[in-house]
Structure 1
Amino acid sequence: MTELRQVPLGELCEVTVGPSGSLLDSLQDGGDGVPVLTPSDLTTLREVEIDHLRRLPRREAARLSRFSLNQGDVLFVRQGALGKVAVIKPEHSGWLYSSSCLRLRLLSDQVLPSYLAMYLSRPTFVSDLLGQVPPGTVLWVHAATLRRQMVAVPPLARQLAAEKAVAAVDTQIKIQRALLAKLEGLGPALFEEILASK
């Protein structure tokens, strides 16, 4: 078995904090504009949820282009819900992200975005990270702290195998969640039907 290489995250990718809240004062629900991703827009399955996106007017978003997202970037939640990450897909390119997140832009082709996202969401990684976060009412990870974290990097073939295996599990989770949502709605519907019956 090929030995894993331990590499500091800062050598694998550029870590960039999102724009400060004062630069996002004009965020609005719905409407036109450029979506701005926040921790609540990231799912536990390392994806972006688009149901409740907030947007920034295009004129203001243009001034923040240095914070735009590209396909293959990994978005890491650094405030509150540590361990939530998402891989940016083509349809999210050009979107922005809040200061509660860190953008990880790969500098090397030795690691796949999907593998990195899975690794950073591992309970053991999050636990180790929490041990280095200053105590306080709100958990907050500094970019420098994340850059110092070591990442186990296997050969690309093993990364692809891990990606495929986890994707299969994720698919089953989505199927089961959809079934559960239907079942949760079934009880109240049956109750109303019984009440209405004569």
Structure 2
Amino acid sequence: MVLVRLGGVGRVALLGEGVDDWVYHSSCIRIRPDASQINPVYLAAYLAYPPVVDQLLSHVQVGTVPLLTAGSLRSLHVALPGPNLQAVMAGALAEAALQMDIQQRILTRLTSVRQGLFTHMLGNNLPGEATSRPQPAARERKAPRTRRTNRMS
């Protein structure tokens, strides 16, 4: 798991097993939770939960760029239910995220269909506009201007 610690503090990414091609920057903190005690999917969701993000931001050192240190991250209290409940919660949150993604795709598609349908029904004719728009007169092209330079050897 990677947590942004510099700048956009609080953004979390969960890395899968065997992911070797990820590069993380000094502006991130790598978190390796003990899988026997904490479900990484649960922890990622917990750290992305808005009240917890607010807590993280309260631990940030304010300066030109917000900075979250490893020490201040260690001082963050984590609500830790039992492993079975963590797994159930992680599964439910993953399912909700999947359903949100599906609904967002449907909404995006319906927005496009609605706009296209309305355009088709109007026939591209709006009241007050001529049915055929006059084409602009073709402009005569001038030769491009060149720049004179003085070259002294």
Superposed pair shares fold, TM > 0.5 = yes
Q: Which has the higher contact order (CA 8 A, sep 6+)?
A: 1
Gaps (5+ residues) in structure 1? 1-73
**Distance (whole Å) between structure 1 residues aligned to residue 34 and residue 99 of structure 2:** 32
Is 1:184 the counterpart of 2:111? The answer is yes
Which of 104, 117, 135 in structure 1 is aligned with 2:44? 117
SS of corresponding position for 1:102: strand
After superposition, the Cα gap between the structure-2 partners of 1:93 and 1:150, relative to the gap in structure 1 and judged at 3 Å, is same
Is 1:102 the counterpart of 2:37? The answer is no
**Distance (whole Å) between structure 1 residues aligned to residue 12 and residue 92 of structure 2:** 18
Is 1:153 the counterpart of 2:80? The answer is yes
Percentage of identical aligned residues: 35
Larger % of strand: which? 1
**CA drift at 1:115:** 1.1
Which of 66, 74, 80 in structure 2 is aligned with 1:139? 66
Q: How does 1:1-198 map to 2 (within 5 A)?
A: 74-90=1-17, 92-107=19-34, 109-190=36-117, 193=120, 194-195=123-124
Gaps (5+ residues) in structure 2? 126-131, 133-153
**CA drift at 1:170:** 0.8
Aligned length: 124
**CA drift at 1:93:** 3.1
**CA drift at 1:176:** 1.1
User: Displaced runs of 4+ in structure 1, greater than 4 A?
Assistant: none
**Paired AA for residue 124 in structure 2:** L
After superposition, the Cα gap between the structure-2 partners of 1:172 and 1:116, relative to the gap in structure 1 and judged at 3 Å, is same
Q: Any conservation in 2 of the 1:112–1:159 contact (CA below 8 Å)?
A: yes
**CA drift at 1:127:** 1.0
**CA drift at 1:191:** 5.4
**CA drift at 1:149:** 1.4
Cα displacement string for residues 113-158 of structure 1 (whole angstroms, at most 9, x for unaligned residues):
1111111111121111211212235322122211221212221011
